[in-house]
């Protein structure tokens, strides 16, 4: 049972380009979470998705950032027209299906994608 | 709004020492608390998950305690080794499922 897979591990983009970060959850997990870790800062929640649905995007910047989790394939975090301030490590986590509204599931993290904007 | 604080921010100890890392949170209505380890330039490794109904959880040389009423958790590392050098993060779920609020971490250096 492979863990959470993120690719690429490292991504370099010039200012103004688009960045696409991919996340494949653990087998059997249908919930995906994206977090961002800016240099010398803690991890901050960005967005929570289930298959074909965005459940909570309260941590997403209002512009240039979008996320999807299609029925087939990995979750994608897309950053349009990247700027230097987008340079960070982006982590994806997955968890099993929620059977009740209140749950105690454990989150499993991928190795992250380190985005550098030059 | 949940806020998670970790003290100390950095810690350097000689090999073999027992040490305690602290985590505090402002909203005690949590379902669980999770401790992670992060090595430089790497991802997060889950160390321990304590459910809200538990007071302690142990894994090898690691022991985590949880006191919900006071909003605190501690991670105890026994007989520290250089391989324990890393940043240790605590996190609590906020609202939905596994949406986590992280502390700022404790950077641990274990010296020979």
- If you average pLDDT over each of B38-42, B51-55, B107-111, which comes out highest? B107-111
Q: Does B96 touch chain A (CB under 8 A)?
A: yes
Residue-level pLDDT at B75: 97
Of B55, B2, B10, nearest in space to A59 by CA: B2
The residue written with tokens 């250089």 in the block is B82
Residue-level pLDDT at A36: 97
Cβ <8 Å between A56 and B94: no
Chain B interface mutation, best of A9, A25, A43, A114, highest count of B Cβ atoms under 10 Å: A43
Residue-level pLDDT at A111: 93
Q: Does B98 touch chain A (CB under 8 A)?
A: yes
Residue-level pLDDT at B74: 97
Bridge-based pairing state of the strands A10-13 and A113-117: parallel
Cβ <8 Å between B99 and A48: yes
Residue-level pLDDT at A99: 60
Instruction: Tell me the nearest-neighbour CA distance from A33 into chain B, angstroms.
Output: 7
Q: Give the pLDDT mean for A74-100.
A: 90
Q: Is A48 exposed, middle or buried (0-12, 13-18, 19+ CB in 10 A)?
A: buried
CA distance A103 to A82: 36
Contacts of B30 (CB under 8 A, 6+ apart): B2, B52, B68, B92, B93
pLDDT tens digits, B66-100: 999 999 999 999 999 999 999 999 999 886 666 89
pLDDT tens digits, A16-37: 999 999 999 999 888 999 999 9
Q: Is A67 exposed, middle or buried (0-12, 13-18, 19+ CB in 10 A)?
A: buried
Residue A100 has pLDDT above 60, yes or no: no
Residue-level pLDDT at B97: 61
Q: Up-side HSE of residue A69: CA atoms within 13 Å toward CB? A: 23
User: CB contacts < 8 Å between A and B, how many?
Assistant: 70
Residue-level pLDDT at B36: 95
The least confident of A48-62, A88-102, B44-58 is A88-102
The secondary structure of residue B21, as a DSSP letter, is: E
∠ CA A88-A94-A98 to the nearest 5 degrees? Answer: 140
Cβ <8 Å between B100 and A35: yes
């Amino acid at each position: 049972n492979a863990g959470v897979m993120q690719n690429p591990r490292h991504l370099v983009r010039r200012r103004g380009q688009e960045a696409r970060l991919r996340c494949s959850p653990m087998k059997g997990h249908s919930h995906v979470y994206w977090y961002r870790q800016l240099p010398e800062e803690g991890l901050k929640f960005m967005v929570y998705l289930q298959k074909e649905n965005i459940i909570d995007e309260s941590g997403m910047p209002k512009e240039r950032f979008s996320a999807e989790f299609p029925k087939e394939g990995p979750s994608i975090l897309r950053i349009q027209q990247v700027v230097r301030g987008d340079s960070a490590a982006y982590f994806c986590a997955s968890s099993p299906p929620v059977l009740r509204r209140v749950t105690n599931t454990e989150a499993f993290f991928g190795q992250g994608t380190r985005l550098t904007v030059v | 709004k949940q806020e998670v604080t970790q003290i100390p921010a950095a810690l350097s100890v000689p090999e073999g020492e027992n040490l305690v890392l602290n985590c505090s949170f402002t909203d005690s209505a949590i379902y669980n608390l999770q401790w992670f380890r992060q090595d430089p330039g790497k991802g997060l490794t889950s160390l321990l998950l304590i459910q809200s109904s538990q007071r302690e959880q142990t894994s090898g040389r690691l022991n985590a305690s949880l006191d919900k009423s006071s909003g605190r958790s501690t991670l105890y590392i026994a007989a520290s080794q250089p391989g324990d050098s890393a940043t240790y993060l605590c996190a609590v779920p906020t609202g939905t499922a596994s949406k986590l609020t992280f502390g700022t971490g404790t950077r641990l250096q274990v010296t020979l």
